[in-house]
Amino acid sequence: MPERTATIASRSGLHARPAALFAEAAGEQQVEVTIAMQGEPADDALDAASILSLMTLGAAKGDVVVLRAEGDGADAALDALVKLLETDLDAE
Amino acid sequence: MQNFQGVGVSPGRIIGSVRQMPKPVSEPPSGDRLAADVSPEDAVAGLKAAAQAVHDELKGRADTASGDGKAVLEATALMAKDTMLLKSASKLINAGSSAERAIWEAGASVSEMLHNLGGYMAERATDVLDVRARIVAELRGVPAPGIPSSDTPFILVAEDLAPADTATLNPAVVQALVTSGGGPQSHTAIIARSLGLPAVVAAHGVDDIADGTEVFVDGAAGFVAVSPTDEHRAAATAWAETSATLAEFDGNGTTADGHLVPLLANVGGAKDAVAAAALGAQGVGLFRTEFCFLERDTEPSVDEQAAAYKAVFDAFPGKKVVLRTLDAGADKPLPFLTDATEPNPALGVRGYRTDFTTPGVLERQLEAIARAASESEADVWVMAPMISTAAEAGRFASLCAAAGIQTPGVMVEVPSAALTAATVLREVGFASLGTNDLTQYAMAADRQLGPLAELNTPWQPAVLRLVQLTVEGAEQESSGREGAAKPVGVCGEAAADPALAVVLTGLGVTTLSMTARSLAAVGTVLKTVTLEQARELATLALSAPSATEARDWVRAKLPVLEELGL
């Protein structure tokens, strides 16, 4: 299954506005994308389009997360989402 | 014609159409099962449709909002159709639960999870509960909880408003506030005064006024009339004209004969301070520092505090800014200072007393204040809330001195401090009367309780007598030493009532601090009386057998109030 790692760049972590922007973007993808902290088993991965899951994940600035997706367009979707995570969304 | 009499808490006369605040959504009974003729598939589909509708409504509001409000609404909208929330509700539905009960329980467990994570996440726990209530309302086909959203202006009628309602109250649409509960010191009153909206509280029976009914509201007289008369229409028109002139304060608080009573503003942060300066405030009489940190569950750093304080000081270069150290506890809990499980928080570890249980926070705050003061041009005074004894005042003064703060003072809110004002003031440089808490403690009446509204007014002669005792204490302290008596100001809601402001001036109070919106009205009325007249009115109020008579007698001698609709 295609996967990517990304380092959280937003100052407030994956909370608040960055979480909302990311969840919305994940929901717009053609494939289902999951998110987990690096080192966590893939079975425990959460739905990346769920803002509440993102909040419970509690990823802070500098934490590394793993995104996974399967199916047509999975690579493109993952690339787009990694880019979002590695942007400081609080600064925008 | 049907009339309702309540307590007027914010002046203004207006005619408008009523919108009732929907009742809070009740919990679906535990164990509520899916109806026999509804399949789980249909129930899940119904839930998803309701969630989508709530999402669309919130998203629509987010699109027209701006700033922080927009971000919160956007996040809340996403929660409404969140897959984690809906999946766990769907599971419960498939196990036989009704859709309402399923979303109720799913929301509760997600909310608890966020709460346990603490910090920012814990703050969002209430948003999940709000979304849950909206979805249940949608499923039931009843109006969503909270302040109704509307494009046309209306008069909001509610049981009472909570501090959280302020965020969603749009003053461009809400013309006036009327509540059946609450008291003169309730959150509704505070919100109304800060927004400059006419408001009447504790008006029994207004819950039964139908939506769309045209009413006349007089926020000074505390009066609400269904089917307004021609007189009411004329009064509303006249108010529309006078209120424009009452919007401007010339920045010079004085009586008719030139006795100066600086009129200061109560602020909660830099935004308030800038707005207050623009409205002509002669300084800040109460900077509620806890308002900078209400959403925090950890102590803010000294750097962070210094930056927040300096931002307020910078709005008043060369002017006085009286800062109150963190006043946590009771209705303003700060998780890093207060114990939420106290059985009697109003009488608990709050205000200055949090230094007994959490030492160090106060000293670090004083360090931040001293640093911010040294980097600004404001004349910074610092006072401690909830001081009860001279020993506490003395200890606070020595902490201030150690931090390099020149002018330490105390809030007089506990009756014991008023009764021993002479010895308390020997320790510090000034006192400021917090009439809201002073009233609540003198009358032993909870500020938030509607049934006690009549007790809970600073017009109570007992409260006025405590004000007088504090001023007398200051004079007594000054006898036998050089220099004038130490200043005694008022920074409670009482100062925002123009009639009471005159009485307080007559009692010898040196400054009045209030919500900035009230400066112009208080300044206008103060200029119509001499100091001697103010003293006579103070004597009159003190001699009244009840709060109602004290207020009526004083108002009868101040015809300018009726002329201006105040």
Question: CA angle at residue B294 from B290 to B299, to 5 degrees?
Answer: 75
pLDDT tens string A13-26: 887 778 889 999 99
Residues B166 and B308 in one domain: no
CA distance B282 to B287: 14
Residues B381 and B483 in one domain: yes
- In this complex, is the C-beta atom of A55 within 8 Å of any C-beta atom belonging to chain B? yes
- Chain A hits for B79, CB-CB cut-off 8 Å, are 51-52
CA distance B246 to B517: 9
Min Cα separation A4/chain B (Å) = 22
Nearest to B312 by CA among B302, B324, B303, B321: B321
Of the candidates B71, B84, B128, the beta carbon closest to that of A53 is on B84
CB count, 10 Å around CB of B99? 28
Q: Is residue B484 part of a domain?
A: yes
pLDDT tens string A40-77: 888 889 999 999 999 888 888 899 999 999 999 999 99
Residues B271 and B241 in one domain: no
CB count, 10 Å around CB of B514? 28
The pLDDT value given to residue B223: 93
The encoded tokens of residue B26 equal: 């009740």
Which residues, including other chains, have CB under 8 Å from residue B279's CB and lie 6 or more apart? B249, B265, B516, B517, B519, B520
CA distance B239 to B473: 41
Assess contact for A67 and A33: CB atoms under 8 A.
yes
According to DSSP, the residues that pair with B177 across neighbouring strands are B156, B199
Min Cα separation B138/chain A (Å) = 21
Q: Is residue B30 part of a domain?
A: no
- In this complex, is the C-beta atom of A15 within 8 Å of any C-beta atom belonging to chain B? yes
Which positions of A are catalytic? 15
The pLDDT value given to residue A92: 58
| CATH number of domain containing B233 | 3.50.30.10
The pLDDT value given to residue B1: 60
CA distance B415 to B433: 10
| CATH number of domain containing B61 | 1.10.274.10
Interface test with A, best of B55, B70, B120, B127 (most A CBs within 10 A): B120
Q: Is residue B252 part of a domain?
A: no
Instruction: Give the β-pairing of B263-267 and B511-514.
Output: parallel
Q: Could you write out the three-class secondary structure of B506-546?
A: HCCCCEEEECHHHHHHHHHHHCCCCHHHHHHHHHHHHCCCC
Test B78 with A16 for CB contact under 8 angstroms: no
- Chain A hits for B109, CB-CB cut-off 8 Å, are none
CA distance A50 to B64: 24
Interface confidence (ipTM) of the complex: 0.88
Residues B228 and B210 in one domain: yes
Min Cα separation A60/chain B (Å) = 12
Q: Where are the alpha helices (DSSP H) in B81-224?
A: 83-94, 99-117, 119-140, 187-195
Min Cα separation A29/chain B (Å) = 15
Of the candidates A15, A50, A56, the beta carbon closest to that of B83 is on A50
Q: Is residue B29 part of a domain?
A: no
Residues B269 and B373 in one domain: yes
Mark whether B400 is an active-site residue. Answer: no
Interface test with B, best of A51, A53, A61, A90 (most B CBs within 10 A): A51
Interface test with A, best of B83, B297, B304 (most A CBs within 10 A): B83
Quickly tell me which residue has 């040196």 as its tokens: B510
Question: CA angle at residue B461 from B385 to B434, to 5 degrees?
Answer: 15
Min Cα separation B342/chain A (Å) = 29
Quickly tell me which residue has 């400059």 as its tokens: B196
Assess contact for B184 and B457: CB atoms under 8 A.
yes
Q: Is residue B251 part of a domain?
A: no
Test B75 with A12 for CB contact under 8 angstroms: no
CA distance B536 to A88: 64
Assess contact for B340 and B333: CB atoms under 8 A.
yes
The pLDDT value given to residue B24: 82
- In this complex, is the C-beta atom of A90 within 8 Å of any C-beta atom belonging to chain B? no
pLDDT tens string A68-78: 999 999 999 99
- The mean pLDDT values, 10 residues at a time, for chain B of 566 residues are 87 94 89 90 95 92 75 86 93 95 95 82 82 94 86 92 73 92 78 88 93 95 94 93 81 96 95 94 96 82 96 97 91 77 86 93 96 97 98 98 97 98 97 95 87 89 98 94 94 92 98 93 95 98 96 94 84
Test B83 with A24 for CB contact under 8 angstroms: no
Residues B193 and B341 in one domain: no
Q: Is residue B335 part of a domain?
A: yes
Test B110 with A51 for CB contact under 8 angstroms: no
- In this complex, is the C-beta atom of B295 within 8 Å of any C-beta atom belonging to chain A? no
b or e along B524-540 (b: 16 or more beta carbons within 10 Å of the residue's beta carbon)? bbbebbebebbbebbeb
CA distance B73 to B136: 18
Nearest to B367 by CA among B295, B270, B287, B301: B301
Test B84 with A50 for CB contact under 8 angstroms: yes
Residues B287 and B319 in one domain: yes
Give me the catalytic one of B55, B115, B187, B232.
B187
- Phi, psi for B62 (deg, rounded to 5): -60, -40
Residues B134 and B170 in one domain: no
Which residues, including other chains, have CB under 8 Å from residue B559's CB and lie 6 or more apart? none
In this structure, which amino acid lies at residue A5? T
Test B75 with A53 for CB contact under 8 angstroms: no
Residues B126 and B208 in one domain: no
Pick the last residue of a domain from B213, B245, B277.
B245
The pLDDT value given to residue B382: 98
Residues B136 and B156 in one domain: no
In this structure, which amino acid lies at residue B102? A
Which residues, including other chains, have CB under 8 Å from residue B177's CB and lie 6 or more apart? B10, B155, B156, B158, B161, B188, B191, B192, B197, B198, B199, B200, B201
The encoded tokens of residue B562 equal: 């009726």
In this structure, which amino acid lies at residue B16? G
Assess contact for B558 and B474: CB atoms under 8 A.
no
The boundaries of the domain holding residue B59 are: 40-140
**What is B182-249 written as a DSSP string?**
--TTSHHHHHHHHHT--EEES-TTGGGSPTT-EEEEETTTTEEEES--HHHHHHHHHHHHHHHHTT--
Which residues, including other chains, have CB under 8 Å from residue B349's CB and lie 6 or more apart? B329, B338, B339, B342, B356, B357
- The ranges assigned to domains in chain A are 3-91
| CATH number of domain containing B406 | 3.20.20.60
**What is B232-275 written as a DSSP string?**
HHHHHHHHHHHHHHTT---S--B-TT--B--EEEEESSHHHHHH
- Phi, psi for B546 (deg, rounded to 5): -150, 165
- Chain A hits for B83, CB-CB cut-off 8 Å, are 47, 49-50, 53
Nearest to B461 by CA among B541, B383, B530, B397: B541
**Number of CB pairs < 8 Å for A and B?**
49
Of the candidates B75, B83, B114, the beta carbon closest to that of A47 is on B83
Of the candidates B71, B74, B124, the beta carbon closest to that of A55 is on B124
**Domain count across chain B:** 3
CATH 3.30.2350.10 fits A3-91, yes or no: no
Mark whether B491 is an active-site residue. Answer: yes
Assess contact for A78 and A16: CB atoms under 8 A.
no
CA distance B77 to B146: 15
Test B117 with A58 for CB contact under 8 angstroms: yes
Q: Is residue B28 part of a domain?
A: no
Test A15 with B117 for CB contact under 8 angstroms: no
- Chain B hits for A20, CB-CB cut-off 8 Å, are 71, 74-75, 78
- In this complex, is the C-beta atom of A35 within 8 Å of any C-beta atom belonging to chain B? no
- In this complex, is the C-beta atom of B126 within 8 Å of any C-beta atom belonging to chain A? no
Residues B234 and B276 in one domain: no
- In this complex, is the C-beta atom of A64 within 8 Å of any C-beta atom belonging to chain B? no
- In this complex, is the C-beta atom of A61 within 8 Å of any C-beta atom belonging to chain B? no
Assess contact for B238 and B245: CB atoms under 8 A.
no
Q: Count Cβ atoms within 10 A of the Cβ of residue B353 and give its class: 0-12 exposed, 13-18 middle, 19 or more buried.
A: buried
Pick the last residue of a domain from B117, B140, B163.
B140
DSSP-derived 3-state class of residue A32: coil
- In this complex, is the C-beta atom of B304 within 8 Å of any C-beta atom belonging to chain A? no
**What is the crossing angle of helices B498-506 and B519-526, to 10°?**
50
Residues B445 and B347 in one domain: yes
Q: Is residue B255 part of a domain?
A: no
Test A53 with B83 for CB contact under 8 angstroms: yes
Pick the last residue of a domain from B81, B111, B140.
B140
